Amino acid sequence: MFLPFYFPSKQALKLVIIGGGYSGLSALITIRKYRPDAEIVLIDRRPYHLKITHLHESFRRPLEDFKLPFQALEKRFNFRHIMADLTFDDTALKQWQSERVIPVGPEEIGFDYLLIATGTGFKKLEKSGRVIDLDDFVEKSGPEILRENLAAADTPEPWISVVGSGATGIQYLFEIAHFVRERRIPCRLRLVDSEHGVLSQFDARLGQYAQARMADLAIEYVPGCFFRAQEANHAVIEAVETGDLSELDSNLTLLFVGKSPGIRLHANFFGQVLADGEVLDRIFTAGDCSYYRSLGSNALTAQSAVRKGKLAARNILRHSGLVKVLEPYLHHDLGYVISLGPRDAVGWLALERNVVGGFPATIVKEIVEAQYDLLLAGIDTYVL
């Protein structure tokens, strides 16, 4: 368990982590690996760690597979979980840095180091009846949501509209398409997209591959339109270029309109928080809520979240040790793969222009996801 430039002191280490997502847990497990005696408190508003990047798979796996109770993880990694939702600003952060104490309800939690890894939310539009977003998929499985909503449709072949052609929207679109096809559920499926090509943030070939698979599954594509409202059995859309409004038959509309970081903390090369131009050397940040002023990637991906969490943990250990030589954040994602249902995927590897699709991409995605599952089991296969 060698960590370069880490020479532990004999002093006890008290760590508080706010946020039990990919980044927070990666940091916690890394700290526990090198400091079995560290006192760790994890603060998260949920009673479980949510593997949110897997939620679309609830159409083929139990929803409980993606919710790991903190109670079980507490026993595995020896930490204390407090269920709470904290709000803070730069003033609060500077006070926490100065006093080394965080008020959590009636308690005051002392710390030597604090890691903020609260992640990100997603953009929300006003919801009405028959409109579903990611929050609903956290509470109910995909089949349950479809069953409840399609049962209320007063047509023998209802329309399902998916809004948003980013990775999340595309993954849900294909899971639904395969689910209804395999079970012979009579319905029609479309994608409503404000862009003029799906997966537009990537190399165009990823979108072309996805659109070809959409055509194979008879999924209607409506590009260049914003979703505006759901009215009875119709979705109101607005043309991006003209502002013209029109209606589409839609008995169920699913909204996946992208991430919204909310609070995004700026950090230096090493993950230490910057507040009003001041470096808070005892407060680190990682994950989607963080923006590192470094050469590394600030992409809102699970890969970057895990790497930031592990780097912040290593630098907390180094800063708490006898030699305070910290490691700069230089990570760049080595690929990105998007699921197109149970047996298909598309993405890039090593270089963004190196596009892969089909079975090879599916295998790569499974390997990457297995690596994180191993980490949660206490087996760290990540390279520094």
Percent of the chain with pLDDT strictly greater than 90: 84
Q: What does pTM read for this prediction?
A: 0.94
* 357 assigned to some structural domain: no
Q: What is the number of domains present in the chain?
A: 2
Q: How confident is the model at residue 127 (pLDDT cuts 50, 70, 90)?
A: confident
DSSP-assigned beta bridge partners for residue 69: 48
Q: Are 113 and 320 in contact (CB under 8 A)?
A: yes
**CATH number of domain containing 162:** 3.50.50.60
Burial of 11 (0-12, 13-18, 19+ CB in 10 A): exposed
Co-location of 135 and 241 in the same domain: yes
Question: Which of 311, 332, 353 marks a domain boundary?
Answer: 332
* 381 assigned to some structural domain: no
Q: What is the number of alpha carbons within 13 Å of residue 95 lying toward its C-beta? A: 7
* 382 assigned to some structural domain: no
Co-location of 232 and 127 in the same domain: yes
Please state which of the ranges 104-113, 126-135, 173-182, 326-335 shows the lowest mean pLDDT.
126-135
Co-location of 153 and 200 in the same domain: yes
Give the residue-averaged pLDDT of 326-332. 95
Co-location of 129 and 247 in the same domain: yes
Predicted confidence at residue 123, as pLDDT, reads: 66
Predicted confidence at residue 9, as pLDDT, reads: 86
Instruction: Pick 14 or 259 by higher pLDDT.
Output: 14
Q: List the structure tokens of 275.
A: 């507040």
Q: How confident is the model at residue 261 (pLDDT cuts 50, 70, 90)?
A: low
* 337 assigned to some structural domain: no
Co-location of 136 and 198 in the same domain: yes
Q: Are 26 and 290 in contact (CB under 8 A)?
A: no
Co-location of 132 and 210 in the same domain: yes
Co-location of 95 and 25 in the same domain: yes
* 92 assigned to some structural domain: yes
Could you give the CA distance from residue 283 to residue 274 in angstroms, rounded to a whole number? Answer: 9
Q: How confident is the model at residue 152 (pLDDT cuts 50, 70, 90)?
A: confident
* 49 assigned to some structural domain: yes
* 157 assigned to some structural domain: yes
Instruction: Pick 4 or 330 by higher pLDDT.
Output: 330
Read off the pLDDT of residues 60-88 as tens digits, 9 standing for 90 and up. 999 999 999 999 999 999 999 999 999 99
Co-location of 38 and 99 in the same domain: yes
Q: Who's near 111: CB < 8 A, 6+ residues apart? A: 14, 15, 16, 41, 100, 101, 102, 282
Co-location of 243 and 270 in the same domain: no
Judge whether residue 258 has pLDDT over 90.
no
Residue 87's domain spans which residues?
14-120+261-332
* 364 assigned to some structural domain: no
Read off the pLDDT of residues 171-200 as tens digits, 9 standing for 90 and up. 999 999 999 999 999 999 999 999 999 999
Residue type, 1: M
Could you give the CA distance from residue 365 to residue 335 in angstroms, rounded to a whole number? Answer: 10
Give the residue-averaged pLDDT of 241-262. 88
Co-location of 101 and 224 in the same domain: no
Predicted confidence at residue 169, as pLDDT, reads: 96
User: b or e along 125-150 (b: 16 or more beta carbons within 10 Å of the residue's beta carbon)?
Assistant: beeeebbbbbebbeebbbbebbeebb
Read off the pLDDT of residues 351-363 as tens digits, 9 standing for 90 and up. 999 999 999 999 9
Question: Which of 242, 258, 274 marks a domain boundary?
Answer: 258
Predicted confidence at residue 119, as pLDDT, reads: 84
Co-location of 129 and 249 in the same domain: yes
Co-location of 78 and 157 in the same domain: no
Predicted confidence at residue 95, as pLDDT, reads: 97
Q: List the structure tokens of 21.
A: 């997502």
Mean pLDDT of the chain: 93
Question: Which of 258, 289, 319 marks a domain boundary?
Answer: 258
